[in-house]
Chains A and B, each alone.
Chain A
Amino acid sequence: MQRLPKIMLAAASLWLTAGAAQAEIKLGSVLSVTGPASFLGDPEKRTLEIYVAELNAKGGINGQQIKLFVYDDGGDANKAKTFATRLAEEDKVDAMVGGSTTGTTMAMIPVFEDAGIPFISLAGAVQVVKPVKKWVFKTPHTDTMACEKIFEDLKKRNLTKIGMISGTDAFGKSMRDQCMTVTSKYGIEVLHEESYGPRDSDMTPQLTNIKNKAGIQAVINPGFGQGPAIVTRNYRQLGITVPLYQSHGVGSKQFIDLAGTAADGVRLPAAALLVADKLPDSDPQKKVVVDYKKTYEQKTGQPVSTFGGHMYDGLMILVEAMKRAKSADKAKVRDEIEKTRNFMGTAGVVNMSATDHLGLDLTAFRMLEIKNGDWSLVQ
């Protein structure tokens, strides 16, 4: 047993000497690279490594090389907090970009708030930045914004009375609740509501109820995975003619494959990254998303995902802030992140302020319509 403290001490000194190298910017990240949330963490980690290598090859930031500290929390909030403590106490990082899920992010926030380290999160939920926390920022849009984008489009088409069918999974539930908080803002009235379980294979009964309800002008389906594809198929089978809106949760080619021709005419809000090639050349976002898509797909050989895009945005916001601050000083960098204006990322234009640590508006989303088995932009 006497050996144990010695081994721990040896390990400690090893870490400490590794940390005392010449002046370099230490960038920390805790991501859910393995486990149930790996579909988020994996593209995030790859993106981080690709772009940090690229930045270093170009001479780093302010002449300083970036040293990466990446840990995998496996989607476990407790592990995330431990690694966050390690980043703050042992590695003494200058900034942190990461936190794949809302759970892991919320666990890490107190650590970085206490240590005074700028923390750009990649988590979806709005509570990450609301109420505003001094050191915490985030890059992905929220579910509320997806709803608002749909409602905005409905209003444009003079449709105000809607039916809603939502999945009871985490995503569907959360988005449905978020939608309900903004209906009055857009004068939308929900006439009828239905739900389905994540493993249901037929939604005809629920959709029949919606069909029989008089006065419904459009139907919204917040959901994730295969559910929305089944809803879409059943919707066409029942011959419902009012417009169908899906959420950003189905923003992948798989949805079109699953739903087949039934998907034609379905509208959904989605990130510009999904339609990078289809954006008109005049679109100010085109260059960023096309470049990111090309780089990612070339380096990894895998199709681009919006989640990796969140990491790209976070990293670049941080890099720009460090350049403006002309140092990696934590307080200065934090102030500069808050001053981010007109930053063009994969998620949209970012304008941060002391009261808004997300900085995205509804232009972050594009309204898409599926035509002939492919995405097309709604003008």
Chain B
Amino acid sequence: MRRFAASPYGVVVLIAVLVAALPAVLPTTFYVRIAALVFIFALAVVGLNLLMGFAGQVSLGHAGFFGIGAYAVAIGPTHLGIPSWAAFVIGVALAALIAFLVGRPILRLKGHYLAVATLGLGILIAMVMTNEAAWTGGPDGMPVPRLELFGWRVRGPVTWYWVSGITLVIGAWIAANLIASPTGRAFRAIHDSETAARVLGVDVARYKLLAFVLSAAYAAVAGAYLALFDGLVTPDSAGFLRSIEFVTMAVLGGLGSIFGSVVGAMILTVLPQVLTVFHDYEHIALGAIMIVFMIFLRAGIVPSLLTFLRRSS
């Protein structure tokens, strides 16, 4: 069990089982919606984890890429007459392209400087979405036409549960594959020590850029899904708070753990729903729970618990 949980592929199987089994215990479509949201956010966080947890580069602007995916499926069909699925592909490609163009110069920065640069990038994207009202509907947002594939209208929480769940499994599988490959080893080498990685012949700039572009693509896919699922997109989806939420999910669940990303996304999506019983104190309760997690499970929930299991067995 221990080795199974620690192996990257075991995690993919675990997520797949979870996706397949959950509908049996979800009583109403409200729960199905929450689960679908968890999968969508988890997908973005798995991508961010590749960058932050494995390659060790921080990004405080990932909601920008999330927003690009979301607005692509809104603007494409509405203003340009492009079918939703094509707009989806273009949106993901565009996010990857922007990450590629911007990534090279800003990934030269380290630590706090990189954090500030990515923060600026995210805010810039959100500003464009807020101000270009003729295209984006401004701060009020704009409606997103339903996705249609071969005459099948993709709508409703149950459908989106399966679409996002299966995509998450695929996304986790790609990430697990990548981590087990030489590329994954290069990521971890950069994380541990850039100088040492360079001495060993790792093209540091190239691998950092690869992680950045990949994570941007993950975020864009998730953003497009959320927009299509909600049928509406607002600039909040690309906002600073959303970026922080992604980073919090990744750190809370555990950096460098794919299953941790899913757990992080789940906690931050489900907790606010549970904590409404505290009425006016829900934000205090949420903050307190997160502080407790970070004090007692310092490496994030999943890695800390795994270490605990390992020690006790």
Contact = CB atoms under 8 A, between A and B. Distances in A.
B29 A89 contact: yes
Contacts of A60: none
A206 interface: no
Interface in B65-106: none
B175 interface: no
Given A76-B236, A89-B29, A81 B140 contact: no
A125 B140 contact: yes
A8 B33 contact: no
A103 B70 CA distance: 15
A225 interface: no
Contact of B236 (A1, A8, A77): A77
Interface string B19-44: 00110011111110110010000000
Contacts of A81: 230, 232
B257 interface: no
Nearest to B25: A5
Given A76-B236, A173-B138, A174-B138, A71 B37 contact: no
Nearest to B40: A78
Given A8-B25, A170-B139, A78 B30 contact: no
B57 interface: no
Contacts of A70: 279
Interface string A25-63: 000000000110000000000000000000000000000
B292 interface: no
SS class, residues of chain B in contact with chain A: helix
A374 interface: no
A78 B25 contact: no
Contacts of B226: 78
Interface in A96-149: 101-103, 106-107, 110, 125
Contact of A72 (B131, B234, B282): B282
B230 A78 contact: yes
A177 to B, nearest CB: 8
Chain A interface, DSSP helix/strand/loop, else mixed: helix
A11 B274 contact: yes
A378 interface: no
A344 B265 CA distance: 47
B312 interface: no
A12 B29 contact: no
A173 B140 contact: no
Contacts of A12: 27, 31
A8 B25 CA distance: 8
B237 interface: yes
Interface residues of B, number: 39
B289 to A, nearest CB: 14
Nearest to B131: A168
Interface string A64-96: 000000111001111101100110111000000
B313 interface: no
Most buried by A among B236, B279, B282, B283: B236
Interface-central residue, B14, B31, B157, by most chain A CB under 10 Å: B31
A180 interface: no
A127 B274 CA distance: 33
Interface in B216-250: 226, 230-234, 236-237, 241
A182 B136 CA distance: 23
A82 B276 contact: no
Contact of A8 (B29, B31, B37, B276): B31
A60 to B, nearest CB: 21
Contacts of B133: 170, 173-174
A72 B18 CA distance: 29
B130 interface: yes
Nearest to A86: B30
B61 interface: no
A8 B274 CA distance: 10
A330 B311 CA distance: 58
Contact of B30 (A72, A77, A85, A101): A85
A9 interface: yes
A106 B25 contact: no
Contact of A102 (B14, B31, B140): B140
B184 interface: no
Given A86-B273, A106-B143, A110-B231, A75 B236 contact: yes
B56 interface: no
B23 to A, nearest CB: 11
A120 B29 CA distance: 23
Contacts of B64: none
B230 A90 contact: no
Contacts of A102: 140-141
Contacts of A106: 140-141, 143, 232
Contacts of B140: 101-103, 106, 125, 170, 174
Nearest to B226: A78
Nearest to A88: B30
Contacts of B37: 78, 82
Contacts of B34: 82
Nearest to A9: B25
A83 to B, nearest CB: 8
Nearest to B143: A106
B30 A89 contact: yes
Contacts of B274: 11
Interface of B: 14, 18, 21-22, 25-31, 33-34, 37, 130-131, 133, 138-141, 143, 157, 226, 230-234, 236-237, 241, 272-274, 276, 279, 282-283
Interface of A: 1, 5, 8-9, 11-12, 16, 34-35, 70-72, 75-79, 81-82, 85-86, 88-90, 101-103, 106-107, 110, 125, 168, 170, 173-174
17 contacts: A1-B14, A5-B22, A9-B25, A12-B27, A72-B282, A76-B236, A77-B141, A81-B230, A82-B273, A85-B30, A86-B273, A89-B28, A89-B30, A90-B28, A101-B140, A107-B231, A110-B231
Minimum-distance CB pairs A-B, first 10: A89-B30, A102-B140, A103-B234, A5-B25, A170-B139, A77-B234, A107-B232, A103-B141, A89-B28, A85-B30
Given A101-B140, A106-B232, A107-B232, 5 more contacts: A78-B230, A85-B33, A102-B141, A106-B140, A107-B230
